[in-house]
Amino acid sequence: METILSVNKLTKKFGYLTAVKDLSFNIEKGNVYGILGPNGSGKSTTLGIVLNVVNSSGGEFSWFGGTLSTHKALKKVGAIIERPNFYPYLTAIENLKLVCKIKEVSEDKIEEKLELVGLLDRKNSKFRTFSLGMKQRLAIASALLNDPSILILDEPTNGLDPQGIHQIREIIKKIAGQGTTILLASHLLDEVEKVCSHVIILRQGEKLYSGPVDGMLRSHGFFELKSADNKNLVSYLGQHASFGSIKQENGLVTAFLKEELEAPTLNQDLFNNGIILSHLVKRKESLEEQFLSLTNHTNH
């Protein structure tokens, strides 16, 4: 597999504050990555470093196996950081022409990309007349001008209205569907869950997890159970070797698994022991629950 970006022991200090601490990860071609973390966990700083706008205090990173200098590599990257930054007095098309000049690509694709983000009819309007959602879409068009090997998006839906968020997500899905590698930094988990195959989780500048979304927790999921006799159910589950913690809320018993256990087996077991269920669901934690449990468990 081709490595697009490799980060090794990256550190960034702002005075006494360590924003990024010994961070290492690899971005492989073809995957969609999410960088997750609460506000101030070092997501934007990390992206700033690999994008040549923030100086690192230690560690290194290399693009495309280190064969290109950073600014040459960035010509093959499309990136949007926090807010769309363009020249307010230039029209959409003039701004994109400027980006083409910087990236040294031809200007043929400008119309195509504007079409993709739905801005073709506003191509001759000045950037300052755009709404935030339109600015963000223009930024995506600009990032795609060079048909990048990797698209980096930092909080792309921040500050947008629901319609804008929806439009941006549709665009991201469309791009991901074309096989482009994407690195998406966000604190909105459902956003990441919907599109990402891999996640990197940061907390206070440190990596808590990196790998496939499915393998985030060594969790076997949990059961949601209901029975006419919940007391009996809870005491039985408490003795069962497969279960860890058991919670009871609004008449719903939630039992977390310590080892693999199939729903039919449990159902049969309980029936044999005289407990009859009115409700049985086996679930995996959502990304949000996994994320919260990861970031909370390691709370110092």
- Of 69 and 298, the one with the shorter C-beta distance to another protein is 69
Q: Does 174 bind another protein (CB under 8 A)?
A: no
Q: Is residue 217 a contact point for another protein (CB under 8 A)?
A: no
- With helix as H, strand as E and coil as C, how does the chain read? CCEEEEEEEEEEEECCEEEEEEEEEEEECCCEEEEECCCCCCHHHHHHHHCCCCCCCEEEEEEHHHCCCHHHHHCCEEEECCCCCCCCCCEHHHHHHHHHHHHCCCHHHHHHHHHHCCCHHHCCCEHHHCCHHHHHHHHHHHHHCCCCCEEEEECCCCCCCHHHHHHHHHHHHHHHHCCCEEEEEECCHHHHHHHCCEEEEEECCEEEEEEECCCCCCCCCEEEEEECCHHHHHHHHHHCCCEEEEEEECCEEEEEECCCCCHHHHHHHHHHCCCCEEEEEEECCCHHHHHHHHHHHCCC
Q: Please tell me the count of residues contacting another protein according to CB under 8 A.
A: 32
Check residue 58 for interaction with another protein (CB under 8 A): no
Task: Mark the segment that binds another protein (CB under 8 A) among 79-87, 114-122, 167-175, 183-191.
Answer: 79-87
Among 54, 213, 217, 234, binds another protein (CB under 8 A): 54
Considering the complex, state which of residue 83 and residue 220 has its C-beta at the smaller distance from another protein: 83
Least distance in Å: CB of 106 to another protein? Answer: 13
Out of 32, 81, 171, 225, name the contact with another protein by CB under 8 A: 81
CB of 98 to another protein, least distance (A): 5
Work out which of 20, 74, 119, 168 binds another protein, going by CB under 8 A: 74
According to the binding rule CB under 8 A, does residue 98 interact with another protein? yes
104 interacts with another protein by CB under 8 A: yes
219 binds another protein (CB under 8 A): no
Binding site for another protein (CB under 8 A): 48, 51-55, 69-75, 77, 79, 81, 83, 85-90, 94, 97-99, 101-104, 142
